[in-house]
Structure 1
């Protein structure tokens, strides 16, 4: 698995904001209307729109319009990729980034 540090950093930055992390938790239950998400917070609809924009730009959330309403859901493919990325980074694997001076040989931690 090739590591994309820049894309992953953008996702982690988006998730470092507590309200956005809570939104992801809410969406883990399935697709939600913006009005349903908003019920869980004490901020305005424009603030929710900003948070959703950040989550969509980093690829964690998808949206669809139905009439006047916006519906949001997790992008499971990208959500799974970030989980795999993090597991790969924190796990001692054969493709460890440190090379012990030998570019062909992964080092032992």
Structure 2
């Protein structure tokens, strides 16, 4: 695919993104639209207000989320970076706290 459509939902708030590999190891994540999904039957009347946003998202999907040509696919494979394995990721993100380390933000007396 030339690009992918992603979304993040937090509660009833949804944000749609377009993600595309632009250069060697550089992914662009572009926010398309955000809106709140109706939470009850009374709020369904507000849904037509989002039809333009939904149409825009579908149009972006049809335009950008298409299959690559074989030449584009080979170029894309060259630009991708491997994902970190879980042990390597866990080594970077240390969940423990060193209690002996000085706090640089702590006020000294």
Q: Where on the TM-score scale, by shorter chain, does this alignment land: which range?
A: under 0.3
- When normalised by structure 1's length, the TM-score is 0.26
More strand by share: 2
Higher helix share: 1
Larger Rg: 2
